[in-house]
Amino acid sequence: MRFAVKNWQLSQLFLSDTGVHEVELETKSLKLRCNCVGFKNRSSCKHVRFVRERMDQNGGVYATHVSTKAPAIEANLAMHSPEAFRNLLINYGKIEVV
């Protein structure tokens, strides 16, 4: 039996004066969402637009930047689980400021 499971994955962390915001990508539909107040009110925000623009420039793929200091074992684990990927980004991902 198959279930239509939504698979949200953290794509990019942003630092702004309202805190740290997380843009997540739904890996099947390529929908984006953000946890900032602007997105909750308008279903759009500068963070989501930033990621969408980069995806458009890159053939629909968002290239997440992760520090080369990230241990290979963590990077490998991150490819198999959204939770491990989230931890990798939090620990070693590049934080964008928009």
**39 vs 85, beta carbon nearer Zn ion:** 39
Burial of 78 (0-12, 13-18, 19+ CB in 10 A): buried
Residues in contact with 9: Cβ distance below 8 Å, sequence separation at least 6, in sequence order: 24, 25, 26, 27, 82, 85, 86
Q: How far is the CB of 13 from Zn ion (least distance, A)?
A: 11
The count of C-alpha atoms lying within 13 angstroms of the C-alpha of 31, restricted to the half-sphere facing its C-beta, is 8
Q: How far is the CB of 42 from Zn ion (least distance, A)?
A: 10
By CB under 5 A, residue 50 contacts Zn ion: no
Q: How far is the CB of 45 from Zn ion (least distance, A)?
A: 3
Candidates 17-25, 49-57, 67-75, 85-93 — which segment interacts with Zn ion by CB under 5 A? 17-25
**18 vs 76, beta carbon nearer Zn ion:** 18
> Which residues in this chain contact Zn ion in the complex, by CB under 5 A?
21, 34, 36, 39, 45, 47
